[in-house]
Amino acid sequence: MNKVDLACLAKEDAFKLIGGDWMLVCAGKKDRFNMMTASWGGIGWLWNRPVAFVFIRPERYTHEFVEAEERLSLSFFTEEWREALKFCGSKSGRDFDKCKETGLSAVELESGAVAFGEARLTLDCRKLFKASMDKASFIDRDILAKWYSDNPGGSLHDVYVVEIESVYGVK
Ligand SMILES: Cc1cc2nc3c(=O)[nH]c(=O)nc-3n(C[C@H](O)[C@H](O)[C@H](O)COP(=O)(O)O)c2cc1C
């Protein structure tokens, strides 16, 4: 993995990158971390900083790590890793060693954040902001029924805005 200029993100189709390719959100330290697949989120600008935003339900094991850490990484892969992403998006790190099951290898970034050697693009991010969605804030109430009716009285997503501090690409 090579550190590359942030400007290389301009060559990416962020719409496809997150919604189509999906990403792994990973937080923790090399000896104890967890990752999950996410396809909701975005990259762009906020407070004049390059940022990403991700939405993580509190019941995810990954949430525990994201909460505990100052940083998280976002990793993007080529199509050959689709099955690995499906696994990380359907099984919990509470029950499985996701690296062992998928063949992904964890690497420690310069910042101490954990990412994956097989990724074609990695964003090393620092948390800036967190908010928990609340039911009263939904303007389109149909979304509540569609996405959260399986979880009555339960939690909605937490949104994290993270600053993209470094970008890594493949050689
Ligand atoms: C394509 C795809 C996209 C997903 N996007 C999100 C997401 O944006 N936010 C989220 O909280 N969960 C999302 N999930 C669900 C988590 O990845 C899934 O619950 C995972 O098993 C959590 O793992 P963990 O318990 O080890 O953290 C997605 C799953 C898939 C397959």
| Residue 135 alpha carbon to ligand 1 centre in Å | 21
| Residue 3 alpha carbon to ligand 1 centre in Å | 27
22 ligand 1 Cβ < 6 A? yes
- 21-25 long-range contacts (CB < 8 A, ≥24 apart) are 21/76, 21/77, 22/85, 22/89, 23/74, 23/75, 23/76, 24/73, 24/74, 24/75, 24/77, 24/85, 24/88, 24/104, 24/116, 24/119, 25/54, 25/56, 25/62, 25/66, 25/72, 25/73, 25/74
40 ligand 1 Cβ < 6 A? yes
Q: Please give the model's pTM, rounded to 2 decimal places.
A: 0.97
Average pLDDT over the chain, rounded to whole? 95
90 ligand 1 Cβ < 6 A? yes
| Residue 32 alpha carbon to ligand 1 centre in Å | 19
**pLDDT at position 171, please?**
52
The pLDDT tens digits of the residues spanning 30-50 come to 999 999 999 999 999 999 999
- Domains in the chain, start-ordered, CATH in brackets? 2-169 (2.30.110.10)
The pLDDT tens digits of the residues spanning 50-85 come to 999 999 999 999 999 999 999 999 999 999 999 999
**pLDDT at position 13, please?**
93
